[in-house]
């Protein structure tokens, strides 16, 4: 049994060492903003943008926050999806809030994964995902310079 466990541990370490070289990052706090989203066909106005803030310690991502803003610079929060301060369309409000909640999930997944690898868009929050990826790449580029 000890041999099997030792073999499994050795195989795991060997496979872990076979991965591609990960970039090294300078410790610090880095902030970056995505571009304002525009629909590809131009049928929608800007949806806003996202801002990511990363903390790197020991060369690894240890903290991340991701917040989205409308095109006027107002943070999308608990009122996102409301019209004139009230829920005029419950489905629209629920979708907006689902997309808003995905921001924290994306940030949490980045810290857990240590990179963007394996982080997929959450249904209903694809625009936020695209903003997140763009902003993270920009922040990590700063950390490499």
Rounded to two decimals, the pTM is 0.79
Q: What is the CATH number of the domain that holds 55?
A: 3.90.1010.20
CA–CA–CA angle 110, 114, 118 (5° rounding): 65
Domain-embedded: residue 14: no
Work out how many domains the chain is built from and give that number. Answer: 1
pLDDT value of position 8: 40
What local confidence, expressed as pLDDT, does residue 7 receive? Answer: 35
Assigned token pair, 19: 């991965």
State the 10-residue block means of pLDDT for the chain, 145 residues long.
40 41 82 84 71 96 96 92 94 94 97 95 93 97 90
State which residues form the domain around 116. 22-144
């Amino acid at each position: 049994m000890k041999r099997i466990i030792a073999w499994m541990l050795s195989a795991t370490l060997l496979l872990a060492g076979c991965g591609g070289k990960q970039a090294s990052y300078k410790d610090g706090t880095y902030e970056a903003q995505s571009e304002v989203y525009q629909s590809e066909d131009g049928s929608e106005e800007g949806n806003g943008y996202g801002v990511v803030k990363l903390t790197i310690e020991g060369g690894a991502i240890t903290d991340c926050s991701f917040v989205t803003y409308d095109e006027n610079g107002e943070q999308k929060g608990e009122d996102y999806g409301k019209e004139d301060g009230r829920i005029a369309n419950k489905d629209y409000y629920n979708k907006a809030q689902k997309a808003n909640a995905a921001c924290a999930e994306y940030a949490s997944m980045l810290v857990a994964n240590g990179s963007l690898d394996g982080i997929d868009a959450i249904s209903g929050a694809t625009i936020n995902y695209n903003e997140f990826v763009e902003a993270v790449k920009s922040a990590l580029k700063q950390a490499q310079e």
